[in-house]
A and B are shown apart, each in its own frame.
Chain A
Amino acid sequence: MSEIILQIDGKEVTASEGMTVLQAAQQAGISIPTLCHHEKLDPYGGCRFCTVEAEVRGWTNYVAACLYPVAKDLIVRTRSEKVDKIRKVILELLLAHAPDAFDLQDLAKEYGANKDRFAKDSSFCIHCGLCVRYCAEVKKKNAICFVDKGKTREISFIPEVAAKECWNCKECFPLCPTEALQAAYVLAKAFAFPLESASAE
């Protein structure tokens, strides 16, 4: 596999072809914050928190480091005024759902995010999809899925599958970045109101 030399935060970094900017940065000891990324799972690019500046032939674009492939002569800036602004607003949008999540609060301090900036929404899920993707990719059970689209998209256990698979697993619970009990809540809801989860009567 051929070696690629790129620049991250002014530092020359060597990476191999097919790597993402995030992998190249991690290998070089440069930290890029993530929310929906997990090393056991395929890159997802949903939270956009790992957004960095990527400059190619003088053109700067904002890209998700977890997905963007390394390339020769690529110049990456992991922090800039605009990158920080993007991350701050993303945090503020997510804190509207999960104002008490520890992970988000820690990051909010670093980026100066105000948890009360946007109107609150009762759901505390931030749609990182870690539970959904872990169940599909690692456990290969698909007991929990995304349902619906746009602003009404949510996670939902499939009662028939969950009844068989979930009690002895629950490996997705600790993955949740907002609240460890979140998945437990959604699972309990699926069992208590299976008709509502499947289709309203």
Chain B
Amino acid sequence: MTRIKSAAELEELRQGILSKIDPDKPSISICAGLSCLGLGNGKLISAFKEELGKQSLEAKVDVITTGCHGFCEKGPIVVINPEEICYLEVKPEDVPEIISQTVIAKKVIDRLIHTDPNTGEKAAHMSDIPFYKNQMRVLMGNNSKINPKSIEDYLAIGGYSALAKALLKMSPVQVLEEVKIANLRGRGGGGFPAGRKWETTRNAPNEVKYVIVNAHEGEPGAFMDRALFQANPHSVLEGLIIGAYAIGSHQGFIYTRHDTPELRKNVDLALAQAEEYGLLGENILGSGFDFKVEVHYDVGIFVSGESSALMRSIEGKAPEPKPKYIRTSVNGIWDRPSNLNNVETWANVPQIIGKGSEWYNSIGTDKSKGTKLISLSGHVCNSTVVEVPMGTSLREIVYDFGGGIPNGKKLKAIHFGGPMGGTIPESLIDNPLDFDVLSKLGASMGAGDMLMMDEDTCLVEVARYFLDFLSGESCGKCVPCREGIRQMLNILTNMTKGKGREGDIELLEELSEVIGAAALCSLGRSVQNPLLSMLKYFRAEFEAHIKEKRCPAHSCKELIALEGV
């Protein structure tokens, strides 16, 4: 394989790939995202291959294993192209019929297509299923079209053309300005303007600068970054290279979890392929710009997703946060300027450069632009990953995409942002998905994980659960975080057992105040957030546990036992 040295050569390669693709050739695209793998699609993939072999169709029909399609609740998902017929909950027994009926005879198998649970309406094509139709899948839309292990697939859909545009037609400052004008805000939780962060690193005095992908998605209920990165690793890589060019960095890092082997395979392969084609390494696309990327893995602790801890980990030290009195964008890895953005933020960059900031600004609200990936879990019919424009109402997300609350239960509250996020009550469901609106309500968007809780959920127990998680995931270095979590967990555990005492709520509030002000890092300073938001909206529930030894949601076992007495 020869390294590409110009935009013309890239286009030539792309045309070469496209010319080999027969648009009428049937292909079977099988979702191999995490959830579908868990549902046993390994057997399904072999069943397809076996059946095609039996009928001597291997040469006539392609089988593509793709990344996550998003509709995880209905997996394993199979899409038959070019007709784009989408089959849900496919089992190996269905395979011979799919091949004979759909692939060969071009007939739709009625029982495998989507049926709307409310209207009974059927939808055979992916683009007709309301779940997909109503999303705006800028980042996720290609997942069902490409094999994540094939750079040719990514090139075929126009991949790396934004990189060519940035490197060959724009100056680094122009790229930076475009991202600033686009108002891209960090998707990892803070919502900080990415362009301003890039600028800080660019302007920092040190010659050697680093850019980093934070792919350390560690909180319970967050699974959108993995879905995106595993399904379309080149889109993130392309964003990273463009960012490095704008910032003036020649070394990038991808920091991810050690326990995601499928993601690891796809990322390693993407890096090797990009290097072979001259999209990484020296003199990228003949532009004179050099850039390399290394992958680093965590050691299995949640706090390593915190920026300064992550950077210590890349240095080869224990992932303990370091106080950020000087920002990591100025003083990060080995005390050099280091720009860290999460997976989804980087994936937005090629879109912005390719389609322009004006297009990007046309999506979303006043101060939150673009689309947002949301992972839905908890008491919701569809546990899924959806991509919607910023500003979409929470009601739409929960009911139209999530399919509402199962078992005829009522929605009680929505929790955003995992163990350091916040909870809002059902009554606020008509608010839009927007960084600032949610912040004001006391529930920052976090990375975009939404946990639905029905009427049988006890929020004292949920607050306790998050602190229990954090008690093992804090690094344990500073007193307010380590000891504060320990004592808050004690108090809440006692409450759920009917041992709550007068003054416990005030004590929790005092601890929250101290931890929020005095803990060393941003993890420590936000561990009290879920509890505080729950006290804000559901204080009576906490009081009932203490004063009446009663769990209003009838969830805490020890208290139900007391009720019977």
B472/A150 in contact, CB under 8 A: yes
Contacts of B482 in A (CB 8 A): 127, 150-151, 153
- Does A152 make an interface contact (CB < 8 A)? yes
Q: Given the complex, which residues of B lie within 8 Å of A151, measured CB to CB?
A: 471-472, 474, 476, 482, 485-486
- The segment out of A84-92, A159-167, A175-183 that lies at the interface is A84-92
Across the interface, B476 reaches (CB within 8 A) one of A82, A86, A148, namely A148
Residues of A with C-beta under 8 A to B301: 149
Find chain B residues with CB under 8 A from A117 CB.
Answer: 507
Q: Which residue of B lies closest to A21 (CB)?
A: B325
> Chain B residues with Cβ under 8 A from A48's Cβ?
478-480, 518-520
- Residues on A with C-beta less than 8 A from B470 are 150
- The 0/1 profile, CB within 8 Å of B marked 1, for residues 129-161 of chain A is 100000000000000001011111100000000
- Give the contact stretch, choosing among A9-17, A105-113, A118-126, A187-195: A118-126
User: CA A144 – CA B480 in complex, angstroms?
Assistant: 24
A93's partner among B325, B473, B477, B487 (CB-CB below 8 A) is: B487
List residues of chain A with CB within 8 A of the CB of B517.
51, 62, 82, 86
Instruction: Output the nearest chain A residue to B473 by Cβ-Cβ distance.
Output: A150
Question: Among the listed A67, A90, A118, A129, which residue makes an inter-chain contact with B480, where contact means beta carbons less than 8 Å apart?
Answer: A90
Interface of B is mostly: helix
* B510 and A121 contacting across the interface, CB-CB below 8 Å: no
Q: A85-B514, A90-B479, A150-B475 are in contact. Are A118 and B487 (CB under 8 A)?
A: yes
Contact of B483 among A64, A96, A146 (CB under 8 A): A96
In Å, the complex CA distance between A68 and B322 comes to 12
One digit per residue, 1 when the CB lies within 8 angstroms of any chain A CB and 0 when it does not, for chain B 193-213 equals 000000000000000000000
Enumerate B320-359 residues with CB–CB distance to A below 8 Å.
323, 325-326
> Using Cβ atoms and an 8 Å threshold, which residues of chain B touch A118?
487, 490
Binary CB contact string for chain B from 515 to 559 against chain A (1 if under 8 A, 0 otherwise): 001111000000000000000000000000000000000000000
Nearest CB of chain B from residue A120's CB, rounded to whole Å? 10
B325 near A68: Cβ-Cβ < 8 Å: yes
Please measure, in the bound complex, the distance between the C-alpha atom of A62 and the C-alpha atom of B476, giving whole angstroms.
Answer: 20
Chain A residues within 8 Å of B472, by CB: 149-152
**Mostly helix, strand, loop or mixed at chain A's interface?**
loop
Q: Nearest Cβ in chain A — how far from B371, in angstroms?
A: 33
A41-82 residues with Cβ-Cβ distance < 8 A to B are 45-49, 51, 62-64, 67-69, 82
Give the distance in Å from the alpha carbon of A138 to the alpha carbon of B426 in the complex.
57
Question: Once the chains are docked, how many angstroms separate the CA of A30 from the CA of B483?
Answer: 29
A22 interfacial by beta-carbon distance below 8 Å: no
- CB of B257 to closest CB in A, whole Å: 16
Counting chain A CB atoms within 10 Å of each CB, the highest count among B474, B476, B485, B511 belongs to: B476
In the complex formed, the residue of B with least CB distance to A91 is B479
Query: B477 to A127, Cβ gap below 8 A?
Result: yes
Residues of A close to B474: CB separation below 8 A:
149-151
Known: A86-B518, A119-B490, A149-B473. A46 touches B325 (CB 8 A): no
Q: Does A94 contact B (CB under 8 A)?
A: yes
B513 at interface, CB cutoff 8 A = yes
Residue of A whose beta carbon sits closest to that of B516 = A62
**B64 CB → nearest A CB, Å:** 41
Can you spell out 25 A-B residue pairs with CB atoms less than 8 angstroms apart? A45-B478, A45-B520, A46-B478, A47-B478, A48-B518, A49-B479, A63-B323, A64-B323, A67-B323, A85-B510, A86-B518, A89-B480, A90-B480, A93-B487, A94-B483, A121-B486, A127-B477, A146-B476, A150-B474, A150-B475, A150-B476, A151-B474, A151-B482, A153-B476, A153-B482
